[in-house]
Structure 1
Amino acid sequence: MTKAFITGIQNMTNTIGVIGLGNMGRNMAATLVKKSFTVIGFDLSETACKQAAEQGVIAATHLSTLTEQCNIIILSLPKAEHVEAVCLGDNGLIHVVSPRTTIIDTTTSVPETSRMVAAEFSKQNIAFLDAPVSGGPAGAATGTMSMVIGGEMEAYKQVLPVLEAMSSVRVHVGDVGAGNIAKIANNMLAAAHLITTAEALTLAEKAGVDPEKVLEAINAGSGRSGASQAMFPTWVMTKAYDSGFTMGLMRKDVGLAKTLAQSLNLTLPMAMQTAALWEDSAQKLADSDDFCCIAQCTNPLLFGKEDEV
């Protein structure tokens, strides 16, 4: 990393750009506003821009408006292909971003895309970090997300004040792409734990034991997980199903794990079975349904809403 790059970051202002103002990006932007940052946001959706403006975010009508005023830019996009288009497309960031800018990509993307984008940006003295997040819209809104980060350590350290404002936990995993791999592994576990917890509670119910009490017991024992400690109490047992993360997004993430395993010629039977179950769930659950609804495929009577069973 060049001395000029480091000097540019050290002289950074408190103005941050956020591209992608959906549930995650908008709430991350709003959290930064609350932490006394000036935030300029961009999204193709006028509705998203309006909602962000109501939370104190300055809406930009063009990418160039954002890049002219920000040398730290956060991406919050649906998929890897969107990251590539926004960064390297005909009207992408690479054509309008100034040298000594840092791009922080919070998208659950793939390592190959992050490495390709980072390589192109580096030719123009622009740093790129892949920094996918966990915690959902609620975590984004409260600054309590977890972030797993790949990229040069020096770039990570220089933008750490911004990352600390957005999240409660940060783990620098390695070089560019490492954050993506860690997030894919994490989401594969979360997807599996949702199903195995539903099966464990179904086992208890059919054996005549109160599943609520068994969930409490699991959370006091060695079988607990993020699914049993947070997802089931908050969204499944209450039948709220309003986490803000969809079946479609989790199916995408599980698919990324399956593809990565296959590309490495790995035999991972549990991962493959989890992927198959999430793929099969499309016959019963729409992409727009909350991702915790996967429990309904195991036991629709126990976990389904009363008007749906």
Structure 2
Amino acid sequence: MTNDPEDSQSTAERKPGVLGFVGVGTMGRPMARRLIEAGHDLIVYDRDDVAVQELAGLGARVAKSVREVADKARIVFTSLPTPEIFRQVAIGPDGLVSGDALKILVDLSTVGSRVEKEVAQALLARGIETVDAPVSGGAAGAGKGTLAIMAAGAPASLDEVRPLFDVLGKVFVVGGVPGQGQLLKLLNNMLSTTAFAITSEAYVAGIHGGLDPEVMMAVFNAGSGKNGATLDKFPKHVLPATFDFGFPVGSVCKDIGLAVEECQALGVPMRVGSAARQVWNDAAMQDGAACDMTELVRYVERWSSAGGLDD
């Protein structure tokens, strides 16, 4: 009896063959581009034809359907905007679950642990493993390959996709069950967006009191008020008035809403998180859903000048 050469290789050493990527929007496109530039053969799908053109120009194959991706690729990445779209793409009619080649789904989306677990169970019934791997770092991090990847899944599947994660950023294995990555990502996003909301209020109050914006940020960052908003988003995107961080208010509302719901389901009352969620929802409801998240400071200024939300 002879040994199969493939069996003598570790899963980490095996070449993955064709990779699939469904959802090549703001975050998905730069991640897919990095995989192509690292030498991987990619087949991509997105409902937006324009979104795939850049990748096609770099050599990606363009699929005509989600099912075609799963028929061609053993490992498929998803980067999708909502839990409903993720569920439909993964286990809906002619979804990834129907594919002949798919064995590992790597979900880079932020969709919440409940939907992630539902999808993982449905896929596992068809012999498909799920690696729950939401990312943090924004579009800039996706382009630079500096994302934080919060991965949860079966050890063998994690080992197989780890070299691919190395192309995208730094992986943190947070558990062995799909859904654990989602929970940690939501907690991270809730901390980040809550910090931005309270920093916006502090910033506007300081401006109204005659303080210099640059001096305010310098003092915050030298003292105990330092946070991700004061260190990064305000200096780079608010003070120069570019408001181009690359993440819309509507997506913040989705993420912080999912975070509050999941924490409440775990028995945590979420008084601060709920208040922050309301601030973001107020901005979204006032025609701000499509605005860059850093524009929240403009809404805080508007509410302050008007004397409050009810005026």
Output the TM-score relative to the length of structure 1: 0.88
Alignment-derived partner of residue 171 in structure 1: 172
Alignment-derived partner of residue 155 in structure 1: 157
Alignment-derived partner of residue 293 in structure 1: 295
2:262 partner letter:
L
Alignment-derived partner of residue 279 in structure 2: 277
Distance in structure 2 (CA, Å) of the matches to 1:135 and 1:65: 30
Alignment-derived partner of residue 66 in structure 1: 69
Q: 1:122 aligns with which of 101, 120, 124?
A: 124
Alignment-derived partner of residue 104 in structure 1: 106
Per-residue CA shift, 1:160-187, capped at 9, x if unaligned? 00001011x2211112101111111111
Deviation at 1:64, TM superposition (A): 4.0
Distance in structure 2 (CA, Å) of the matches to 1:66 and 1:226: 37
Q: State how 1:20-169 maps to structure 2 within 5 Å.
A: 20-98=23-101, 101-167=103-169, 169=170
Q: State how 1:157-236 maps to structure 2 within 5 Å.
A: 157-167=159-169, 169-174=170-175, 175-236=177-238
SS at match of 2:27: helix
CA contact (8 A) 1:148 1:182 kept: yes
CA contact (8 A) 2:87 2:119 kept: yes
Per-residue CA shift, 1:236-277, capped at 9, x if unaligned? 111111222111111111111222233334212111111111
Share of identical aligned residues, percent? 29
Count, aligned residues = 297
Alignment-derived partner of residue 306 in structure 1: none
Deviation at 1:301, TM superposition (A): 10
1:259 partner letter:
E
Distance in structure 2 (CA, Å) of the matches to 1:203 and 1:219: 17
CA contact (8 A) 1:285 1:293 kept: no
SS at match of 1:115: helix
1:288 partner letter:
A
SS at match of 1:137: helix
Residues 131/78 of structure 1: CA separation in 2 closer, same or farther (3 Å cut): same
Distance in structure 1 (CA, Å) of the matches to 2:37 and 2:222: 36
Per-residue CA shift, 1:188-223, capped at 9, x if unaligned? 111111111122223433443312112022223332
Distance in structure 2 (CA, Å) of the matches to 1:204 and 1:86: 46
Q: Which runs of 5+ in 1 are unaligned?
A: 303-309
Distance in structure 2 (CA, Å) of the matches to 1:237 and 1:301: 19
Distance in structure 1 (CA, Å) of the matches to 2:212 and 2:100: 57
SS at match of 2:181: helix
Q: Which runs of 5+ in 2 are unaligned?
A: 1-6, 305-311
Alignment-derived partner of residue 308 in structure 2: none
1:228 partner letter:
T
| RMSD between aligned residues | 2.3
Q: State how 1:258-269 maps to structure 2 within 5 Å.
A: 258-269=260-271
CA contact (8 A) 2:151 2:181 kept: yes
Per-residue CA shift, 1:27-80, capped at 9, x if unaligned? 111011111212111112211122321344221123343233321110011111
CA contact (8 A) 2:260 2:273 kept: yes
CA contact (8 A) 2:12 2:162 kept: no
Deviation at 1:154, TM superposition (A): 2.5
Residues 75/278 of structure 1: CA separation in 2 closer, same or farther (3 Å cut): same
